[in-house]
Amino acid sequence: MAGTAEIQGTPRVPHPYAPVLRHLYIGAVHVLLFVGAFWLAYGLRYEFRIPPAPGTPIADLIPPDAVGQSWTTPQFLGVPASVWHGFYSLLLFIVLVKVIVFGYFRLYAGWWQYVSVQDLVETFKASHISTGIILGIVYLCKALNLYGAIQYRLMVPDTVFIIDWAATIALVGGLRFFVRIIREGSRPVSPAGLTRVLIVGAGDVGEGVLRELYRLPVERYHVVAFVDDDLRKRGIRIHGVPVLGGVADLASVAQDQKVEEVVIALAQPTRDDLRRIIEVCKGQRLTFRIVPGVAELLTRLREVDINDLLGREPITLDIEGIGHFLAGKTVLVTGAGGSIGAELCRQIAGFKPASLVLLEQAENNLFYIDRELRQARPELQVVPVIADIGDRVRLENVFRRYRPAVIFHAAAHKHVPMMEINPGEAIKNNVFGTKNVADMACRYRCGAFVLISTDKAVNPTSIMGCTKRIAGMYCQCLARQPGSAGTKFVVVRFGNVLDSTGSVVPIFREQIARGGPVTVTHPEMRRYFMTIPEATQLVIQAGVMGRSGEIMLLDMGAPVKIVDLARDMITLSGFRPDIDIKIEFQGLRPGEKLFEELRTSAEDILPTPHKKIFVWQSRYCSLEDMQAALKRLAAVTDGASFAEVYKVLKSIVPEYQPPAEPPVPDVPCEPAPSAS
């Protein structure tokens, strides 16, 4: 079956000549406008009728049946010939001059949906200069008596060129503004409806806010009025919005216009200004926003980060569904001090759970996330719990006391090389720790248990990946048991997250700060990456959507070469890769592989209503077989050789590919000395 990238479809590649074709298209439109402007100038000058030649009797030029007819009707296509001949003789010359001058001013490269007064100024300049060139050449020909050289057979009045100048500005500028008007007038309206907005300040800042609101791709705001203390502005309209009074009138205007939101758009508002505005509006159900000043905007500018280069499109969440899943419930997050666990807590806190229980073994990590949540969400009941998921008795007390309804299990040992050297600890934490939390979820009838898994669990070559695979298998076994019917078990599998603790990004950042070298394992190593907020949002969404026993896969996009990531980070830091800072390749570490996978041959991928979440149909094993496997695994947790651990893991996960040699030499465990 096609991979994730194929399922989503390849992005449409623009035509290589698209910019050139667009400029040619815009140029052709301008040529038509130039022709139309000159035709309009001719028609207006002669009132759209054929003028008689000086000294020629009208009866000799105009047939009786054509008197009073328009000069463009078929009766006049050939009479008098001098008018049409002069028009066509000058047309090519005039259009050629305008095409060159307008091209010099780059007016074929503008993006019409963003047309502004500056575009109109440039159009005025181009029309002014082209008309000056045309008149200059015409007068030069007159002075040198070169009529024949340009086939100038008609005495064209200067007013034709003046009218052509004005018509060119009107047609070229008018069409551009017409396109912008159509675009702004056809914006879709937000499904939530329009928020009625009042802007305080009818100066440059307020006008800029109104203009930007008109440019939003989705119409969310309806500006109903301005208020400003400048008496000269009373009664005027800015982009069609009236100034209805001063700040003292703010409450009455807001009430009359049914305003929902007030935007303070003052150039340099003082504290007294803001206090006065708030005081006037006391008793009104209004939301207040303030436009930052230029200096403040500049201080908010930040450097381009690697997250920007690898960032993806915003996540669309089922807010209502997540609200039903979390709101008013006790939510437990294990590993709450880690990168994923902490971000899960931040995201969950926004959905108003009754309480949020933070379970973490590391005291300092727990302290920081607890303090952060209390400051950001003072209304939320946050419960910090220091506990080890391997301590079954402690977990029993935690579940008995807090009775969580939803559990997000993020606690795990995740560092691949470290777990290769310490396989027993990976088994204890990732397998038996998960088993403890899952068993408690069943015993205390929790509504949902969401296990955070990894792409390293697919065809695992590492202890970490294999233990996470077994943890997922155990949760699937529980999901099939009748006694677990009240608890939904969902496994969510995804790849690396950017900037998590101990991941490649902070390591590269530290190496760059030291002046290098930046160490990469292999030139061809690739990994799937996702930002931490994106991963946690999709984990929550998958927990809502998933059915018990399902493995949910997050769309990780295309894999990224680690060496390219290193070069990008060096460049963003202001250095030149391989010149200022060297890149060194160190070879694969124990348990690592060049390419991570997102599915195995024993699994099938199915789409879900969310385009970034998929369901993996995988094989199940019976709970009896799993319990027997866990007994074998417990026997090799402490003191067994690497070979024994590899053998048991492979018996449980046949796809596991252990290393040919252990990461460190096996040292036989000697019995402890007897107490004397």
Which two three-digit tokens encode residue 359?
């379970």
pLDDT tens, 51-102? 554 454 444 444 445 445 544 444 443 334 455 566 777 888 899 999 999 9
Same domain for 134 and 261?
no
pLDDT at 427 over 90: yes
The rounded distance, in Å, linking the Cα atoms of 547 and 344 is 20
pLDDT at 448 over 80: yes
The per-residue pLDDT for 670 is 59
The rounded distance, in Å, linking the Cα atoms of 206 and 200 is 7
- Decide if 565 is inside a domain: no
The per-residue pLDDT for 10 is 39
Alpha helix segments (H runs only) across 576-641? 623-635
- Decide if 523 is inside a domain: no
Same domain for 176 and 202?
no
The rounded distance, in Å, linking the Cα atoms of 128 and 105 is 12
Helix (H) or strand (E) holding 518: strand 518-520
The per-residue pLDDT for 310 is 59
- Provide the CATH number for the domain around residue 226: 3.40.50.720
Confidence of residue 598 (pLDDT cuts 50, 70, 90): low
Confidence of residue 368 (pLDDT cuts 50, 70, 90): very high
Same domain for 538 and 644?
yes
- Between 183 and 96, the more confident residue is 96
The rounded distance, in Å, linking the Cα atoms of 477 and 483 is 11
Residue 538 near residue 493, CB atoms below 8 Å: no
483: containing domain: 325-495+530-558+595-652
DSSP tag of 480: T
Same domain for 41 and 179?
yes
pLDDT at 359 over 50: yes
* Mean pLDDT over each residue of the chain, to the nearest integer: 80
- Decide if 564 is inside a domain: no
Burial of 174 (0-12, 13-18, 19+ CB in 10 A): middle
Alpha helix segments (H runs only) across 107-203? 117-143, 158-185
pLDDT at 125 over 70: yes
- Decide if 571 is inside a domain: no
pLDDT at 596 over 70: no
Residue 413 near residue 425, CB atoms below 8 Å: yes
The rounded distance, in Å, linking the Cα atoms of 449 and 486 is 11
CA distances from 339 to 345, 365, 370, 446, 496 (A): 10, 10, 14, 24, 11
Helix (H) or strand (E) holding 332: strand 330-334
Which two three-digit tokens encode residue 148?
């024949």
- Between 357 and 211, the more confident residue is 357
pLDDT at 6 over 50: no
Neighbour count for residue 60 (Cβ, 10 Å): 9
pLDDT tens, 247-258? 999 999 999 999
- Decide if 10 is inside a domain: no
Q: Which residue has the tokens 């499109």?
A: 313
Q: Residues 332, 337, 343, 346: what is their CA dihedral angle, to the nearest 10 degrees?
A: 60
Same domain for 230 and 375?
no
The per-residue pLDDT for 153 is 46
Same domain for 210 and 179?
no
The rounded distance, in Å, linking the Cα atoms of 144 and 149 is 10
- Decide if 201 is inside a domain: yes
- Decide if 624 is inside a domain: yes
Tell me: cis bond preceding 417? Omega within 30 of 0 counts.
no
pLDDT at 332 over 80: yes
- Decide if 210 is inside a domain: yes
The rounded distance, in Å, linking the Cα atoms of 46 and 65 is 20
Confidence of residue 270 (pLDDT cuts 50, 70, 90): confident
The per-residue pLDDT for 433 is 95
Which two three-digit tokens encode residue 607?
């789409």
pLDDT tens, 197-206? 999 999 888 9
The per-residue pLDDT for 75 is 45
pLDDT at 118 over 50: yes
Where a domain ends, among 131, 160, 185?
185
Residue 141 has φ and ψ, to the nearest 5°, of -65, -40
The rounded distance, in Å, linking the Cα atoms of 79 and 61 is 7
CA distances from 49 to 90, 128, 248, 574, 673 (A): 19, 28, 61, 70, 121
**Range with lowest mean pLDDT among 13-22, 39-48, 264-273, 551-560:** 13-22
Query: Quick check: helix, strand or coil at residue 410?
Result: coil
The rounded distance, in Å, linking the Cα atoms of 177 and 183 is 10
Same domain for 228 and 336?
no
Residue 449 near residue 487, CB atoms below 8 Å: yes
Instruction: Please state whether 359 falls in left (phi above 0), alpha (psi between -120 and 50) or beta.
Output: beta
What is the pLDDT averaged over residues 432-448?
A: 93
The per-residue pLDDT for 605 is 74
The rounded distance, in Å, linking the Cα atoms of 415 and 433 is 16
Number of domains in the chain: 3
- Between 534 and 145, the more confident residue is 534
The rounded distance, in Å, linking the Cα atoms of 284 and 254 is 8
Q: What is the largest CA-CA distance in the chain?
A: 143
Residue 254 near residue 226, CB atoms below 8 Å: no
Residue 363 near residue 318, CB atoms below 8 Å: no
- Between 251 and 599, the more confident residue is 251
Same domain for 97 and 118?
yes
Same domain for 471 and 367?
yes
For residue 360, list its beta bridge partners: 386
DSSP track, 519-539: EES-TT-EE-EE-HHHHHHHH
Residue 638 near residue 424, CB atoms below 8 Å: yes
Residue 124 near residue 52, CB atoms below 8 Å: no
Same domain for 475 and 614?
yes
Tell me what percent of the residues of the chain surpass a pLDDT of 90.
32
Which two three-digit tokens encode residue 588?
């694969």
Residue 384 near residue 358, CB atoms below 8 Å: yes
pLDDT at 544 over 90: no
Same domain for 276 and 424?
no
pLDDT tens, 474-524? 998 888 887 777 899 999 888 777 766 666 777 888 888 888 888 888 888
Same domain for 482 and 441?
yes
For residue 288, list its beta bridge partners: 262
pTM of the model: 0.58
